[in-house]
């Protein structure tokens, strides 16, 4: 496992006070906050910062971590010396979100304590994100996901193990919803039930569609004569092809609503096609002549509303 | 060996107070206080906590507020305000994406 230099992660000296550590953590928690950060890999950074803070803000964990000394270099392979944590007491907590290094150092206590005290304890509920393609929600899909989960080994120690799940994603799910997988969270102790796994649904960005909850928006490119005279055109939508009637005198930006063609939730969303008039380029003398005829015959002033 | 696990949407099986508290690792008291000060469930909440039901949106909001309170020692009202702003940012980002459709 790789040694983690938690002081370096929080950018504080080893002799930093609790107040300095808190201040450094908050600064970085703002910088890498997943909802607003523009930093690359903000979420991963935030996890590292959380892990470092979980150790350095906890007196017992910090003291035990400091026992390891400054010898190991961050990122280098590392094994803690035997008995390194003698005399310290701490609980596991959140180990499933943290590194192997954290799990090895601090994730062992919960199982061992519970075994000694014969505690019965339901497993912890876990949380993860799942990224879906828009098309997945139209029919429901199976997704294979791999999670790192804490697991008790034969000695009752918590270790991080990869956990593969083949999950049936229900049809009609949309971003921001949460899928619950009963019994797929942390293991229970002394015969108690495992916790649940909660998957937060996100969609991968799509080249054609914008998704807003259950509604979907897509551009509908049309020729000027289709927009002006009206037309019925074929257009691909996430679950096939549809024929759409474009009303005459449609302008760019006009929204055509296809009711119930959005995400097929219990109460289905709508699909909005946003008209985009595309002009044919005047690349030949004949095509130029067409435009010149239009200019003469139509006497159209698109800037009339501007008073010019 | 991999077998199929069926996922259930929270909207199809809403969480009650105890389930929400357990899944987000907070106390019942924490949830009740946040509902009572208007940070969760808005004005939809009845006075009887056993009748409260929480959907995906409430669930995600609890996780957001909890992280804000834990990371910044914020009080519930301030965390609720920041969560409101994040939700507004999500909405505006979505609107911005839609305006880019014909560009």
B78 touches chain A (CB under 8 A): no
Q: Which residue from B minimizes the CA distance to A143?
A: B4
B86 touches chain A (CB under 8 A): yes
Q: Which residues of A touch B6 (CB under 8 A)?
A: 168, 170
B22 touches chain A (CB under 8 A): yes
Q: Do A166 and B3 touch (CB under 8 A)?
A: yes
Nearest to A125 among B23, B100, B101 (CB): B23
Residue among A117, A169, A119, A121 nearest A141 (CA): A169
Regions in chain B scoring below 70 on pLDDT: 1-2, 43-44, 101-103
Whole-number CA gyration radius for chain A: 29
Contact B65, B73 (CB under 8 A): no
Task: Give residue-wise pLDDT tens across range A209-257.
Answer: 999 889 999 999 999 999 999 999 999 998 889 999 999 999 999 999 9
Residue with more model confidence, A124 or A157: A124
Residue with more model confidence, A86 or A276: A276
A121 touches chain B (CB under 8 A): no
Task: Give residue-wise pLDDT tens across range A175-189.
Answer: 999 999 998 888 887
Residue among B17, B37, B21, B24 nearest B80 (CA): B37
User: Residue A109 corresponds to which tokens in the numbers above?
Assistant: 């206590």
Alpha-carbon distance B60 to nearest alpha carbon in chain A (angstroms): 8
Contact A224, A302 (CB under 8 A): no
Q: Specify the pLDDT at position A3.
A: 83
DSSP 8-state assignment for residue A260:
T
Count CA atoms within 13 Å of residue B16 on its CB side. 5
Contact B59, B24 (CB under 8 A): yes
Q: Do B10 and A178 touch (CB under 8 A)?
A: yes
User: Given pLDDT bands bounded at 50, 70 and 90, which one contains residue A114?
Assistant: very low
Q: Which residue from A minimizes the CA distance to B101?
A: A219
Contact A61, A54 (CB under 8 A): yes
A277: left (phi over 0), alpha (psi -120 to 50) or beta: beta
3-state secondary structure chain B: CCCEEECEEHHHCCECHHHHHHHCCCCHHHHHHHHHCCCCCCCCCCCCHHHCCECHHHHHHHHHHHHHHHHHCCCHHHHHHHHHHHHHHHHHHHHHHHHHHHC
**A254-275 b/e with 16+ CB inside 10 Å = b?**
bebebeebbbbbeeebbbbbbb
B29 touches chain A (CB under 8 A): no
B13 touches chain A (CB under 8 A): yes
According to DSSP, the β-strands at A209-212 and A255-258 are unpaired
Task: Please state the pTM of the whole predicted model.
Answer: 0.76
Q: Which residue from A minimizes the CA distance to B2?
A: A166
ipTM: 0.85
How far apart CA A216 and CA A258 sit, in angstroms, is: 10
Contact A181, B69 (CB under 8 A): no
Angle at A15 between CA A10 and CA A20, to 5 degrees: 50
Q: Do B71 and A178 touch (CB under 8 A)?
A: no
Residue among A25, A19, A26, A30 nearest A6 (CA): A25
B56 touches chain A (CB under 8 A): yes
In DSSP terms, A221 is beta-bridged to A276
Q: Do B5 and A166 touch (CB under 8 A)?
A: yes
Q: Do A178 and B13 touch (CB under 8 A)?
A: no
B60 touches chain A (CB under 8 A): yes
Q: Do A176 and B64 touch (CB under 8 A)?
A: no
């Amino acid at each position: 496992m790789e040694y983690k230099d938690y002081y370096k992660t929080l950018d504080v000296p080893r002799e930093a006070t609790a107040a300095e550590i808190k201040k450094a953590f908050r600064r970085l928690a703002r910088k890498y906050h997943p909802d607003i950060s523009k930093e690359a890999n903000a979420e991963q950074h935030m996890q590292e910062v959380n892990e470092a803070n979980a150790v350095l803000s906890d007196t017992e964990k910090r003291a035990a971590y400091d026992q390891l000394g400054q010898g190991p270099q961050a990122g280098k392979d590392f094994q803690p010396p035997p008995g390194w944590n003698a005399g310290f007491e701490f609980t596991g907590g959140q180990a499933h979100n943290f590194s192997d290094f954290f799990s090895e150092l601090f994730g062992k206590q919960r199982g061992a304590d519970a075994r000694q005290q014969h505690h019965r304890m339901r497993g912890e509920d876990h949380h993860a994100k799942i990224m879906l393609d828009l098309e997945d929600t139209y029919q429901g899909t199976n997704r294979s996901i791999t999670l790192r989960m804490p697991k008790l080994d034969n000695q009752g120690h918590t270790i991080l193990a990869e956990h593969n799940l083949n999950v049936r994603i229900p049809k009609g799910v949309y971003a921001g919803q949460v899928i619950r997988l009963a019994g797929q969270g942390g293991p229970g102790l002394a015969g108690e039930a495992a916790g649940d796994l909660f998957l937060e649904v996100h969609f991968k960005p799509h080249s054609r569609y914008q998704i807003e909850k259950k509604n979907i928006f897509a551009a509908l490119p049309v020729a000027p004569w289709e927009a002006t005279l009206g037309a019925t055109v074929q257009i691909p939508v996430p679950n096939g092809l549809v024929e759409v009637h474009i009303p005459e005198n449609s302008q760019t930006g006009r929204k055509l609503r296809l009711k119930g063609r959005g995400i097929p939730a219990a109460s289905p969303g709508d699909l909005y096609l946003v008209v985009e008039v595309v002009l044919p380029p005047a690349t030949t003398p004949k095509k130029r002549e067409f435009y010149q005829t239009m200019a003469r015959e139509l006497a159209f002033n698109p800037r009339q509303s501007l008073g010019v | 060996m991999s077998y199929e696990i069926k996922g259930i949407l929270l909207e199809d099986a809403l969480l009650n107070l105890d389930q929400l508290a357990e899944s987000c690792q907070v106390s019942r008291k924490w949830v009740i206080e946040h509902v009572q000060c208007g940070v969760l469930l808005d004005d939809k909440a009845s006075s009887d906590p056993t009748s409260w039901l929480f959907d995906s949106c409430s669930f995600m909001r609890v996780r957001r507020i909890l992280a804000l309170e834990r990371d910044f020692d914020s009080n519930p009202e301030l965390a609720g305000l920041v969560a409101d702003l994040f939700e507004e940012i999500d909405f505006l980002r979505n609107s911005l994406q839609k305006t880019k459709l014909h560009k």
